[in-house]
Homo-oligomer: A and B are copies of this chain.
């Protein structure tokens, strides 16, 4: 999204907000997060958000007093308290805690990189990551967002949506964002792939996110109404994705999904291979 488009969006959102200063503070944090690492001064923020310079300065000072942003030189960057709040959020999501425990117990998958993400619009937000013994440092950091249409987690989550919901999300989304030459770029191709995901019982990302890396994903239903579907994935270098290993990893993913869907029952009566995703 361009800065101009964002400015319009923010203005529109602000006109409806009953606490504009808070909405603006959020826009500032978003902007700082995009250019993370680089500090931005009040003038630059004001220009890019299309807001008065003084107001930005006042809000930034308030944010700095609370530690949500930190002063670096004369500008502002994201602050330490965001790590605290982000950690508190992740700790409040039961799925995240259970994911960490369940992932390291998987017989085969625990050696690989396993991730948990949640669908939000047409993007996946990554909430947790189990690091296997394989050094795949290419994986997403926690909190990062990636297009749902090119990731294994995203396609697993999208495949579980009712048709009407999927149509709403895809409306006006063309062309789809692509990260590699293999990325699915059209809605038609995506729909065909989602059908395959439902039949197969798991999703695939064959070098659609990063070249040389493949992922397999399964859907995990949300536990509260309104909670978007979650998904878990296993990431590995394509060279390691042998025909012997893949079925074992898929089995582990299904086991993980079952445990996270209903931890009590799955914990007492563990099942094994052949579990289907949508009975």
Contacts and interface: CB of A to CB of B under 8 A. Distances in A.
Contacts of A125: 80, 83-84
A80 B71 CA distance: 25
A80 B118 contact: yes
Number of copies: 2
Given A84-B144, A143-B84, A144-B84, A19 B61 contact: yes
Contacts of A37: 91-92, 94
Interface stretch (A62-70, A166-174, A231-239, A249-257): A62-70
Interface residues of A, number: 62
B29 A85 contact: yes
Q: Which has the most chain B C-beta neighbours within 10 Å: A36, A126, A143?
A: A143
Interface stretch (A20-28, A156-164, A203-211): A20-28
A137 to B, nearest CB: 8
Interface in A134-166: 135, 137, 141-145
B89 A79 contact: yes
Contacts of A91: 36-37, 141
- Per CB-CB distance, the 3 closest pairs between chain A and chain B, nearest first, are A86-B86, A87-B143, A33-B88
Interface of A: 13, 17-23, 25-26, 29, 32-33, 36-37, 55, 58-59, 61-63, 65-68, 71-72, 77-92, 94, 100-101, 104, 118, 120, 125-127, 131, 135, 137, 141-145, 224, 226
